[in-house]
Amino acid sequence: MGLGQVQPGSEENSTPVTDGADFTVTAGTRYYAFITLPSTYPFYTITGLEWKNGATVAGNVLCGIDIVDADPPTLASTPLVALGMQVAQSGTSVVQRNSNIKAWFPGGTLLGCWISLSDGTAKVREQTGLGSQNQLKTVGAYTSTPATNEVTAWSTATARKYIKLYYKGYQ
């Protein structure tokens, strides 16, 4: 390997998700999953975010990544560090992946990965095995250009939504 070249690892993802029941999501709310990047490599590039539709599909979904202070988070301020393109929901009980989201982070970084519905109500699948904690924010009217620092207070939810992060590590 020559000077200035980096060798990427293979694409990896957060822990395989086991999904439970459908959960109704509403426009104007961000639903989070908190994922800590491994420390195997010194830095990582994000290659995608995934969620799973439930039995009712409506509107578009916007996804993004915020920096959070803890899992569960305690500080309301969450800087937006990556934003994906809107994805039209399609197919019931279908995995949706947005690969149009890119960002670089050091290994070991705690990320708040989120999805938000554009309008109406729909259902997404929940992740099993996680209890009630701070994992959603009611941010108001949907916008495809969200604030770079979201300061809305956290709310609790009874279960985390099915959200999976894809990434590649680099030396």
> Does residue 7 form part of some domain?
no
> Does residue 113 form part of some domain?
yes
Angle subtended at Cα 109 by Cα 5 and Cα 38, rounded to the nearest 5 degrees? 70
Q: Please report which confidence band the pLDDT of residue 1 belongs to, taking 50, 70 and 90 as the band edges.
A: very low
Q: Please report which confidence band the pLDDT of residue 8 belongs to, taking 50, 70 and 90 as the band edges.
A: confident
- Cis check: omega of the bond before 8, within 30 degrees of 0: no
What mean pLDDT is predicted for residues 14-35?
84
Q: Check which CATH number belongs to the domain holding 92 and give it.
A: 2.60.120
Q: Please report which confidence band the pLDDT of residue 106 belongs to, taking 50, 70 and 90 as the band edges.
A: very high
Overall domain count for the chain: 1
> Does residue 130 form part of some domain?
yes
> Does residue 154 form part of some domain?
yes
What mean pLDDT is predicted for residues 66-77?
94
- How large a percentage of the chain has pLDDT more than 90? 53
Q: Please report which confidence band the pLDDT of residue 114 belongs to, taking 50, 70 and 90 as the band edges.
A: very high
> Does residue 137 form part of some domain?
yes
Q: Is the separation of the CB atoms in 113 and 30 below 8 Å?
A: no
Residue predicted with more confidence, 101 or 141: 101
> Does residue 3 form part of some domain?
no
In terms of average pLDDT, the best of 31-40, 116-125, 133-142 is: 31-40
What mean pLDDT is predicted for residues 16-35?
85
> Does residue 153 form part of some domain?
yes
Q: What is the pLDDT of the chain when averaged over all its residues?
A: 88
- Domain of residue 58 covers 13-141+148-170
Q: 63: which residues sit within 8 A by CB, 6+ positions away?
A: 49, 51, 83, 84, 87, 98, 101, 113, 114, 115, 116
- How large a percentage of the chain has pLDDT more than 70? 92
Residue 158 scores a pLDDT above 50:
yes
Q: Please report which confidence band the pLDDT of residue 130 belongs to, taking 50, 70 and 90 as the band edges.
A: low
What Cα–Cα distance (Å) separates residue 140 from each residue in 25, 26, 106, 129, 165?
A: 13, 10, 31, 29, 25
> Does residue 51 form part of some domain?
yes
Residue predicted with more confidence, 71 or 119: 71
